[in-house]
Structure 1
Amino acid sequence: MCGIAGWVDFDRDLTGERAVAHAMAETMGCRGPDDGGLWLQPHVALGHRRLAVIDLEGGKQPMAADDAAVISYSGEIYNFGELRAALESKGQRFRTRSDTEVLLRGYLEWGEDVVDRLNGMYAFALWDIRRQELLLVRDRLGIKPLYYYPLPGGLLFGSEPKAILANPLADRAVDADGLRELLAMVKTPEQAVFKGMYELRPGQLLRVRPEGLTKRRYWALPAREHTDDLDTTVHTIRELLDDCVGRQLVSDVPLCSLLSGGLDSSAITALAAKHGPIRSFAVDFAGYADNFRPDELRVDPDGPFVQDLVRHARPDHRDILLETGELADPQVRSTVVRAWDLPQFIGDMNTSLYMLFRAVREQSTVALSGESADELFGGYAWFHLPAAVHAGTFPWLALLMREHTPADLLDRDLRERLDLPAYTADSYRTALAEVPHLSGQDDLERRMREVSYLHLTRFLPALLDRKDRMSMAVGLEVRVPFCDHRLVEYVFNTPWVMKTFDGREKSLLRAAVKDVVPESILERVKSPYPATQDPAYEQALRDELRALLSDRDTPIHSLLDRTAAKHAATTPAGETTSTVSRYALEMALDLNAWLQSLGVRLDL
């Protein structure tokens, strides 16, 4: 895993811009702590920061081949062994054992069609020396990020916005649509929040030529008729899972799994353990189990189920215990905001993930995680609540945002100008228009196909961003077997009646892994990633907000509804019954840290 950055400009000579190109690449140092490189020609600068995982000595980048092309690449190609064999049979000769060279020589052999052959997570920039043009590519599910900023003569690009913002040609401005995107809890494809900046869409490639930019979708969720019966479907899913996990265990550095005691992470850990010894890590909060209180999203703590899986699959396990004081530390909050380049409203769930990854990185360089199983197999509660499914909006908003929103503490006039309901409604209409339907579906199947599509394209990308930023902030590579596009395509097209054949959530997944996961976990109700319930955490948020309100020089000051913010700051912790009420507190504090640390200008 790595960080990439670069600059293309057909109107100027970039060989004199080494210092700027180097600065762009160095912002990716946390993503690639092991090595760095820079490659310049008159109209292109490619930068790279490397986290060495495969072929530690031979995989240095940017990597050139035959004076024909050079690549800066982030990610893992899990089928690079098969691709290498195919390329060797066609006469390609290799100097390294790296998947980077496989990708590079695959381009020389197949051109941009190489992307159709890739299985993995990746974002890369490839400069075709002969054609003098750049190719930017992002993986099918958007596991690895890639941003770009068009210029009159080319563009800037990077794994994260900070790489682009390090170039003086990029404006650190956010307009009304950017602010709407931050507050909407819906991930809009290609929207990058910063004015003039874009995010390459999952499954998209972009060519940069002197005559301009051209984009092409090389992959999107397909509509296919599902003809397998239930037993065959369960068997096929298990075969795919075995293959996905097996492929993603290849590493020349220590590898582990992230274990929560839920079905998804337990399945990944148990399947990985079948291949040999594996480490596992789980997050826990001091006093969490002893003082746990059920809420609308979580009915039980993770700890006992983690131990059930540890006894069953016998990984080398360690619990990472987090203290409330550090979770609430404003400096840690600022670190997380800088890592993401954006404010968020799920504060401690970001901070705790960052702290978990920081501890994991002390012993492992690569981790397996269970992201996308809920979106794929229908795990969230709102998949199964008719009021949410048929709410006429994104189902998660119907449940999570019914009482509180991240914008609750913002100035009333500002909220009216932003008109988030209209922005969300427009996003919803756009997303629905993309859904690939099959003829002959009944109303329920048609709607649940829409719900699945919304989750895979508007909800999952935010979770993948979160996983990427928090892990890469400490130089940890996280792999997500459930995001294998073969599995995604198969399950997406499986009928909803089959996905819930036993009347439960994630019926197909539970059936597929029932032989490797203990009964207690198979029967456990879905529980999201944990959030601290310590009242001291919420009180710390209120105290921090109160301190901000007393300082008129804070960036957030002019954006707040003073009356609402003062009431929130002075209300004793624990008087609200829902953790959702923390959204507005977290967003206000994160917004302030963001405006302060990144020097962002709001053009509203």
Structure 2
Amino acid sequence: MCGIIAAAGPLDLTAAVTALTHRGPDSSATVTAAGVTLGHTRLAIQDPGTRSDQPYADGPLTVVYNGELFNPAAVRRLVEEADPGRVWATTGDTEAVTAALAVLGPAEALPALDGMYALAWADSRTPGSLYLARDPYGEIPLHVHRGAPVLAASELKAFTALGRRCGPAVIDVAPGEWWQIRPDGRTARRRFHTLHARPEARAPDQAAADLSAALATAVDRRAISDVPVCSLLSGGIDSAVIALELTRHVPDLVCYTARLNPKSADLRCAREVAEAIGVQLVEVDVQPPTADDLTRAVEVCEQTYKAQVEITWPCLALAAAIRADGFKVTYSGEGSDELWASYGFAFRGIAATDWYTYRRDLIAAQAVRNFPRVNKAFMSAGVEARLPFLDPDLVTLALSLPRDAVQSGNSPAGRKAVLGRAYRGRLPDRITTRGKVAFQDGLGLKGAITATLPNPLRYYRAEHSRLYG
């Protein structure tokens, strides 16, 4: 995981790279290649030595890469089939991604990447063109500023550091797209992944068994790391199943939970899960936020959505504690609620469309909401957050399941019954039968905020406009 900034032309990117240092404190550099300027700040996870520093060049391509590849061995094999005799210089995923783009081209390489990523690259075969790509679910942010020259970056802070106001000038690369921004400013956008929801009949018990197997595989794939990892444990079932599966790879797993109200049900449940699965639980104290604290949350998440700003505040405390303890990678249960439509508001949404389409669209919408908020909140302290519920095979399975295999009534406890069935007997009953509770509700955060701000949403919008335009 890293920070990237790119310009479709020559430009001094020093200030932008500095503004992204929190995302990659291990190294930083800029380079001009094929008429394009690329900047990078690195958080070293795979092959953490300097040989995998970026920008990274392979033949005609120079790449800056923000993310993590979970199938580097498979990608290397594809490259070797097309380029027999290739000698690899590193063991990292950056080289695998760059080589795949250089040898196979984006149309073939990008669908083969199983990971979360945002990419920018230059190609000497098409001088002056800036290329961009974003992972299939939008786990990693990639913003584009349509000024002159066109810029692309991991965070809006990179633009403001270069004197650019944002507002309507900024758009995002959509999930599963790659772009070519030509020297004359024309942009060709191509899609390499489309999110589908294809119904398949499954009985509830079979759905639970299939889900358990898919989750185990998703965590297995995301266990790749050359640095120590930890996990979040909120007290809900989503983070609990991830932590449980992760103990197979990390027997001495350390988990982190936020503590604002010491009597909260979330905290009691997190403690119960930690004891049941044998992990160390670190309780991170979160203070009731002041107005300045919430401005900081807006500055970090770069959003105005009320839930996203407010969830960012405790995540900042978690991220700081995780990094202070020496971890660079954590795991989260984000994405689960969208797969099962377990939010209370989903009942009306499903009635207005249909079960399959609603969940597909709900997952897609998080590319500008939950997923970039998770990324930016934890990367504020140089911590990569991995989301196993967004494993492609797991998403495909989940979106195919009929409603009667997923939900058991519309009560909070029944909206994600399939997950409870999948882990019945492996987690405490209190957890497998517990209903969805919003993170900020379980933490006791909402009341603390309304005591500080009479109109939180208005405040967040005003502060975002002041900071980013």
- TM-score relative to the length of structure 2: 0.91
What amino acid maps onto 1:257 in structure 2? S
The one-letter amino acid paired with 1:21 is: L
- How far apart are 1:278 and its partner, in Å? 1.1
1:156-178 deviation digits (Å, cap 9, x = unpaired): 1101122223334x4x25xxxxx
Query: Please, which moves more after superposition, 499-508 or 266-275?
Result: 499-508
1:453 aligns with 2:360: yes
Distance 1:99 1:461, change over 3 A: same
- Corresponding residue to 2:191 among 201, 217, 224: 217
8 Å CA contact 2:389–2:395 kept in 1: the answer is: yes
Aligned to 1:22: 14
Cα distance, 1:35–1:494 mapped onto 2, change above 3 Å: same
Paired residue secondary structure (2:269): helix
Report the Cα distance in structure 1 between the residues aligned to 2:191 and 2:279, rounded to whole angstroms: 40
The residue type equivalent to 1:376 in the other structure is L
1:6 and 1:24 in contact (8 A); partners too: no
Please list, as runs of the form range in 1=range in 2, the aligned pairs for 1:437-586 lying within 5 A after superposition: 447-459=354-366, 461-500=368-407, 504-531=414-441, 533=444, 537-538=448-449, 541-542=452-453, 568=454, 585-586=455-456
Within 5 A, what are the aligned runs for 1:59-208?
59-66=52-59, 68-89=60-81, 90-91=83-84, 92-112=86-106, 113-132=108-127, 133-151=129-147, 155-168=150-163, 170=164, 172=165, 194-208=167-181
CA contact (8 A) 2:199 2:400 kept: yes
* C-alpha distance after superposition, 1:300-346 (max 9, x if no partner): x201211111111111211112232xx22x33323222223344424
Deviation, structure 1 residue 43: 1.9
Q: What corresponds to 1:244 in structure 2?
A: 218
Deviations 1:96-143 (A, max 9, x none): 111000001111221112111111100011211222233211000100
Q: Residue in 2 aligned with 1:360? A: 322
- 1:201 deviation in Å? 0.7
Deviation at 1:371, TM superposition (A): 0.4
**Per-residue CA shift, 1:234-270, capped at 9, x if unaligned?**
3332222111101212211221110011110000001
1:389 and 1:281 map into 2 onto residues whose CA distance is 34
CA distance in 2, matches of 1:341, 1:56: 29
* Residues 494/460 of structure 1: CA separation in 2 closer, same or farther (3 Å cut): farther
| Counterpart residue identity of residue 247, structure 2 | A
SS in 2 for 1:70: strand
Could you tell me which amino acid in structure 2 is paired with residue 541 of structure 1?
A: T
Match of 1:411 in 2: none
Q: What's the TM-score once normalised by structure 1's chain length?
A: 0.71
Q: Is the contact made by 1:375 and 1:460 (CA closer than 8 Å) also made in structure 2?
A: no
Counterpart of 1:381 in 2: which secondary structure?
coil
| C-alpha distance 480-378 of structure 1, shift in aligned 2 (>3 A) | same
Query: If you compute each CA radius of gyration, which structure gives the higher value, 1 or 2?
Result: 1
Instruction: Quote how far apart the aligned CAs of 1:360 are.
Output: 1.7
1:63–1:72 Cα contact (<8 Å) kept:
yes
Q: Secondary structure at the match of 2:334?
A: coil
CA contact (8 A) 2:297 2:310 kept: no
Instruction: Work out whether residues 267 and 516 of structure 1, in 8 Å CA contact, stay in contact via their aligned partners in 2.
Output: no
Percent of matched pairs sharing the same residue: 25
Return the letter of the residue paired with 2:461. Answer: L
The alpha carbon displacement at 1:54 in A equals 0.9
CA distance in 2, matches of 1:55, 1:280: 24
Pairing 1:381–2:344 present: yes
Aligned to 1:323: 287
Deviation at 1:42, TM superposition (A): 6.1
Contact map agreement 1:344 1:586 (CA 8 A) in 2: no
- Distance in 2 between residues matched to 1:278 and 1:514, nearest whole Å: 21
Say whether the 8 Å CA contact 1:32–1:49 is kept in structure 2: yes
Computed over aligned residues only, the root mean square deviation of the Cα atoms, in angstroms, reads 2.3
CA distance in 1, matches of 2:298, 2:103: 42
Name the amino acid aligned to 2:178. L
Residue 302 of structure 1 aligns to a residue whose secondary structure is helix
> Partner residue of 2:253?
278
Kindly indicate whether residue 276 of structure 2 is the aligned counterpart of residue 312 of structure 1. yes
User: Which structure 1 residue ranges, 5 or more long, are not aligned?
Assistant: 174-193, 293-300, 393-445, 543-567, 569-584
Question: Which residue type is aligned with residue 98 of structure 1?
Answer: G
Shift, 1:277, TM fit: 2.3
**Paired residue for 1:369, among 323, 332, 350?**
332
* Counterpart code for 2:44: A
Aligned counterparts of 2:409 and 2:451: Cα–Cα separation in 1:
44
Q: Report how far residue 26 of structure 1 moved.
A: 1.9
Give the counterpart letter for 2:135 in structure 1.
D
